[in-house]
């Protein structure tokens, strides 16, 4: 499943980042969003256009289009 399909207040392990967009891949990597890292999905915005996550003590906002490229599994 993708991060966009996840549930609020849940911790996930990233299994893959599937995108051909090198700029997006670089942005995610620079934020610490890499394969095998653990992320906590805090919440979605009211229209589910953005989501708030926590990676290594850092809170990050992602667009729904970005979250759909991040594949995760529940821990």
CATH for 70 = 2.30.30.90
Computed on alpha carbons and rounded to an integer, the radius of gyration of the chain in Å comes to: 11
pLDDT at res. 73: 98
Count of domains for the chain: 1
pLDDT digit string, tens, across residues 18-73: 999 999 999 999 999 999 999 999 999 999 999 999 999 999 999 999 999 999 99
Range of the domain at 67: 3-74
Distance CA 69, CA 51 (A): 13
Residues 20, 44, 49, 1: is their CA dihedral positive or negative? positive
- 13 bridge partner residues: 38, 73
């Amino acid at each position: 499943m993708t991060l966009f399909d996840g549930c609020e207040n849940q911790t996930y392990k990233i299994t893959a980042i599937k995108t051909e967009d090198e700029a997006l891949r670089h942005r995610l990597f620079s934020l610490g969003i890499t394969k095998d890292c653990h992320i906590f999905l805090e919440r979605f915005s009211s229209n589910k256009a953005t989501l708030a996550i926590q990676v290594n003590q850092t809170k990050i906002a992602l667009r729904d289009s970005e979250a759909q490229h991040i594949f995760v599994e529940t821990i």
